[in-house]
């Protein structure tokens, strides 16, 4: 016998009813999975956190693709029609900016959360709120192609434009994006 | 079976084999068996609230670990689909070649990581990582039949995914014998190439 919090135990009973399983079967299944995760050298909470993030990403309209293909495709399109592609990424950024602003007070926190979901390959993303309503964003990856660096930067610029923040500094080079935004006084 | 023990707790019955395994883990982690089990139950409730199952969640975690290791990233779906459609008009051959090449790389990666288990893994991985509604892979002797369905995938991306899968299968030692597809729906057949993965030392 094992002692469990009454509230949780009741939820497990409900879960069993929904699945048309016995409570015993349900508990067995849950704990078997906990053992499986332990066998993988992980914590169940981390596995569930990960699933939650994936579900959030799906709801935000994100999908998986192969990193190298993404950069190839973007570079191909960038070489073909730089102006048109740039406008498109800016436009997508504006759309997401509006989406983020409806999800949190200033939209910046929702953007930061989304960028963590987006985490492209081994890129390092950092966002910092500074003095006087300023926000600094940096994203670095040695795999970003020149075309991808530019359009990814435009995506972020579009987000902040929709969040009504002005771009006050931009220092991009291949694989490096550094942007600073400021709320107008 | 659940029985009330005190005001805020209930006692649940577990098989002794499971309790023994839980005890080992609890000792290793420096927590009580009840606390470890309660933690697992809480996580199960969280997963249930996402309308998913714990088993599937653990399965998906395992798949993502491998998929991510192969260089998969998440991007806004709408932009990627539009980009593909635009490029497909004038750069179809270049795109198809890039997709097949990426597929070959992924196939080699799966083979190196999973060996003979690569084909079985591919069925789950394709469904999860390409957000497909259905994927079936049936192995009938030397022939492998693969079918995928997506209710939202555009024709261009379907065509590219077929190239990608052909690349994967090629790296796993199979050659395409039949490919037919419509928007979001593809039926492919591959034949095993004898000795494709046999290496001899000079």
pLDDT in tens, B36-70: 888 999 999 999 998 888 999 999 898 888 887 87
> pLDDT tens for residues B69-124?
877 887 777 778 878 888 888 889 988 998 999 999 999 999 998 888 899 899 98
For residue B186, is it within any domain?
yes
Are B122 and B37 in a shared domain?
Answer: no
User: Looking at beta carbons, which residues of chain B come within 8 Å of A96?
Assistant: 76
Q: Check the CA dihedral A156-A160-A161-A166 and report its sign.
A: negative
Facing B98 at nearest CB: one of A4, A69, A88: A69
pLDDT for B189 equals: 97
Q: Is the pLDDT of residue B201 over 70?
A: no
Q: Do A35 and B25 make contact, defined as CB atoms within 8 angstroms?
A: yes
Residue B202 — very low, low, confident or very high, per pLDDT cuts 50/70/90?
Answer: very low
pLDDT at B198: 62
DSSP class per residue in chain A:
-EEEEHHHHHHHHHHHHHHT--HHHHHHHHHHHHHHHHHTT--HHHHHHHHHHHHHHHHTTEEEEEHHHHHHHHHHHHHH-HHHHHHHHHHHHHHHHHHHHTTSSSSHHHHHHHHHHH--TT-EEEEEEETTTEEEEEEE-TT--HHHHHHHHHHHHHHHHHTT-EEEEE--BTTEEEEEEE---
Are both A37 and A61 inside the same structural domain?
A: no
A20-29, B9-18, B26-35: least confident range: B9-18
The pLDDT value given to residue B68: 79
Same domain, A97 and A174: yes
Q: Is residue A126 part of a domain?
A: yes
Structure tokens at A33: 């999975």
Does the CA dihedral A27-A29-A30-A31 come out positive or negative? positive
Residue range of the domain that includes A152: 57-182
Does A62 lie in the same domain as A34? no
Please give the Cα distance from A118 to A141 (Å, whole number): 13
A53/B contact by beta carbon, under 8 A: no
Residue length, chain A?
185
Residue A38 lies inside a defined structural domain of this protein: yes
The answer on B105 and B26 residing in a single domain is: no
Number of domains in chain A: 2
Q: Which two tokens stand for residue A182?
A: 């400021």
Q: Is the pLDDT of residue A144 over 80?
A: yes
A168 Cβ contact list (under 8 Å, min separation 6): A134, A180, A181, A182
The answer to whether position A49 is within a domain reads no
| Greatest mean pLDDT range, A42-51, A56-65, A117-126 | A42-51
- Same domain (yes/no): B135, B176: yes
Mutate to test the interface with B, among A23, A69, A95, A142 (most CBs of B within 10 A): A69
In a domain, A155, yes or no: yes
Residue B197 pLDDT level (bands cut at 50, 70, 90): low
- B83–chain A Cβ distance below 8 A for any pair: yes
Contacts of A58 in chain B (CB under 8 A): 131
Residue B40 falls within a domain, yes or no? yes
| Both structure tokens of A92 | 């997508």
pLDDT at A158: 96
- The answer to the question of residue B7 being in a domain is no
**Same structural domain, B103 and B150:** yes
**For the residues A145-173, what does the mean pLDDT come to?**
94
Q: Which domain holds residue B36?
A: 16-51
Quick check: is B62 in a domain? no
pLDDT, mean over chain A: 88
pLDDT tens track for B169-185: 999 999 999 999 999 99
> Could you tell me if residue B28 is inside a domain?
yes
Q: Tell me: do B118 and B163 sit in the same domain.
A: yes
A100 within some domain: yes
A46 has pLDDT over 60:
yes
- Rounded CA gap, A104 and A96, in Å? 13
Q: Are residues A107 and A165 in the same domain?
A: yes
* pLDDT value at B200 more than 60: no
Task: Give Cα separations from A161 to A91, A92, B199 (angstroms).
Answer: 10, 11, 57
Per-residue pLDDT at B1 exceeds 60: no
Strand B143-149: give its sheet, edge to edge: B134-140, B143-149, B185-192, B174-182
Closest to A64 (Cβ–Cβ): which among B55, B74, B94? B74
**Residues B89 and B124 both lie in one domain:** yes
B22-35 residue pLDDT tens:
889 889 989 888 88
Q: Do B103 and B34 share a structural domain?
A: no
CA closest to B160 among chain A residues = A69
- Give a yes or no: residue A50 inside a domain: no
Tell me if A23 and B2 make a contact (CB, 8 A cut-off): yes
Contact A2 B76 (CB under 8 A): no
What number is the ipTM of this complex?
Answer: 0.72
Same domain, A109 and A64: yes
Identify whether residues A29 and A80 lie together within a single domain: no
Mean pLDDT lowest among B6-15, B78-87, B163-172: B6-15
Q: Answer yes or no: is A139 within a domain.
A: yes
User: Both A107 and A67 in a single domain?
Assistant: yes
Question: How near does any CA of chain A get to the CA of B89, in Å?
Answer: 11
pLDDT at A159: 95
**Residue A117 phi, psi (nearest 5):** -70, -35
List pLDDT tens digits, range A71-121: 888 888 888 889 989 998 999 899 989 988 887 677 898 898 888 777 677
Q: Is residue B198 part of a domain?
A: no
Q: CB of A93 within 8 A of CB of A163?
A: no
pLDDT at B159: 94
In this structure, the answer to whether residues B89 and B138 fall within a common structural domain is yes
- The count of domains in chain B is 2
Which of A60, A66, A76 has the CB atom closest to B91's CB atom? A76
């Amino acid at each position: 016998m094992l002692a469990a919090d009454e509230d949780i135990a009741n939820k497990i009973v409900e879960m069993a009813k929904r699945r048309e399983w016995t409570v015993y079967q349900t508990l067995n299944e849950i704990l078997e999975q906990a053992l499986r995760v332990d066998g993988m050298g992980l914590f169940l909470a981390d596995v569930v956190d990960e699933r939650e993030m994936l579900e959030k990403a799906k709801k935000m309209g994100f999908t998986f693709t192969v990193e190298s293909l993404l950069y190839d495709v973007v570079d191909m399109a960038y070489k073909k029609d730089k102006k048109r592609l740039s406008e498109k990424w800016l436009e997508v950024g504006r759309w997401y900016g509006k989406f983020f602003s409806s999800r949190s007070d200033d939209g910046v926190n929702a953007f930061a959360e989304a960028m963590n979901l987006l985490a492209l390959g081994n890129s390092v993303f950092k966002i910092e709120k500074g003095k006087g309503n300023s926000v600094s964003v940096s994203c670095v990856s040695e795999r970003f192609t020149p075309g991808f660096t530019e359009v990814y930067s435009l995506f972020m610029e579009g987000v902040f434009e929709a969040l009504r923040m002005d771009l006050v500094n931009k220092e991009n080079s291949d694989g490096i994006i550094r942007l600073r935004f400021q709320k107008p006084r | 079976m659940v029985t009330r023990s005190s005001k805020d707790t209930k006692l649940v019955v577990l098989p002794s084999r499971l309790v023994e395994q839980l005890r080992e883990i609890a000792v290793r982690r420096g927590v009580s068996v009840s606390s470890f089990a309660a933690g697992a139950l809480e996580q199960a409730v969280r997963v249930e609230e996402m309308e998913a199952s714990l088993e599937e969640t653990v399965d998906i975690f395992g798949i993502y670990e491998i998929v991510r290791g192969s260089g998969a990233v998440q991007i806004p779906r709408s932009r990627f689909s539009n980009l593909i459609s635009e490029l497909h008009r004038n750069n179809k051959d270049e795109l198809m070649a890039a997709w097949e090449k990426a597929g070959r790389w992924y196939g080699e990666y799966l083979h190196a990581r999973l060996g003979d288990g690569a084909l079985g893994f591919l069925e789950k991985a394709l469904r999860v990582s390409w957000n497909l509604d259905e994927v079936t892979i049936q192995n009938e002797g030397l022939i492998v039949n693969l079918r995928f369905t997506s209710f939202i995938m555009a024709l261009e991306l379907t065509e590219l995914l077929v190239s990608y899968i052909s690349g994967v299968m090629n790296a796993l030692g199979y050659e395409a014998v039949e490919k037919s597809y419509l928007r979001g729906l593809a039926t492919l057949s591959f034949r095993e190439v004898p000795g494709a993965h046999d290496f001899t030392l000079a």
